[in-house]
Amino acid sequence: MTDASGAPAQSAGWRGKFAGVALALSVFSILWFALAAVGTKLGFWTWQFGLGQMTIGWGPMLLMVAAGLSVIAVIVSLLKAPRKQAFMIAFAALLISGLAFGRVAAFGAGAARLPPLHDIQTDWSNPIQPSDALFTEREATGALNPVADAPVIDPAADGRWRGMGGRLVSEVQEEAEFDPATHKSPKQTPYPLIAPLVTAAAPDIAYAAALAAVEARAWIVVLAEPESGLIDATEESFWFGFKDDIMIRVRSAGEGSRIDIRSTSRVGLSDLGANAKRIRDLLDEIETRLGKAAA
């Protein structure tokens, strides 16, 4: 074997093998997270095991071991010559495990900043309820989170979010939203402002724009009733296969129309902000479509 210059490469002996083990473990720790997600989606194990145990429980510990082993490998690679081969392998292992651990740590910090919400909508004073078809679909897949008119946060959330258990979801959502009128920084309020879309467009035009936006996302449309102004759809996450339900209601409002949206997760205490982001993005797209139609 030769090095990059064409000279015979010098073996680092056990130090090179140790660095190789560190690199293999670092790569395996990345694959571990993918395995947890894909296995859950394919039904090899439950989401509680795949997300709770494999990802949240064991995943960070595996990364810490890989990072620690990589640090040791870097140190021992520099003890004596030849250093180059062992150091490069050990440094690659440290880079992989370090970046992965940093990403996981940042994800955990972001998740801790978000409240334990999994049901978001634009109007809690007049909540949208799923259609019978969507209720049937939810029951068939074993949805654990109920869809209520005035839901409260599960008391179990107190274990991680102290003081949140038993609080009204509507109140917590309002506190978490960014309202420019409060002069708060968006960093202080993790959710975008969620409010109904009131438009000058006629209800049938608004409904068509909402349905087109849903279909453009390739969501599964469970119900589409133009006469009632209701749309029910389901989105499935790419990795774990989690299903979230989206309910849209279009009604007349003066000479125009009003669009309300509700998005809720079937399982889990916290949606990590996914439902709020989904509603905000969907409202923005509907508004864009209506603007183009008017133009």
Co-location of 177 and 236 in the same domain:
yes
Of 82, 113, 144, the one marking the end of a domain is: 113
User: How would you class 282 by CB atoms within 10 Å of its CB: exposed for 0-12, middle for 13-18, buried for 19 or more?
Assistant: buried
Which of the residue ranges 68-82, 155-169, 211-225 has the most confident prediction, judged by mean pLDDT? 211-225
Of 113, 142, 173, the one marking the end of a domain is: 113
Co-location of 61 and 144 in the same domain:
no
Name the token pair of 43: 């039904």
169 compared with 10, residue with greater pLDDT = 169
Strands 119-121 and 256-265: antiparallel
When pLDDT is cut at 50, 70 and 90, the band that residue 77 belongs to is very high
When pLDDT is cut at 50, 70 and 90, the band that residue 8 belongs to is very low
Give the contacts of 31 (CB within 8 A, at least 6 positions apart): none
Co-location of 99 and 127 in the same domain:
no
Tell which residue, 235, 271, 232, has the closest CA to residue 120: 271
Residue 24 sits in which domain range?
Answer: 14-113
Is the Cβ–Cβ distance between 233 and 222 less than 8 Å? yes
The phi, psi pair for 25, rounded to 5°, reads -65, -35
**C-alpha distances in Å from residue 110, one per residue of 88, 130, 270:** 33, 30, 12
* pLDDT digit string, tens, across residues 135-149: 999 999 989 999 999
- For residue 54, give the DSSP letter: I
CATH number, domain at 194? 3.30.530.50
Name the token pair of 69: 């082993």
Written as one string, the DSSP assignment of 273-289 is: THHHHHHHHHHHHHHHH
- Does 1 reside within a domain? no
Of 113, 136, 170, the one marking the end of a domain is: 113
* Percentage of the residues of the chain whose pLDDT score is greater than 90: 79
- Does 59 reside within a domain? yes
* pLDDT digit string, tens, across residues 229-283: 999 999 999 889 999 999 999 999 999 999 999 999 999 999 999 999 999 999 9
pLDDT at 1 over 70: no
- For residue 159, give the DSSP letter: G
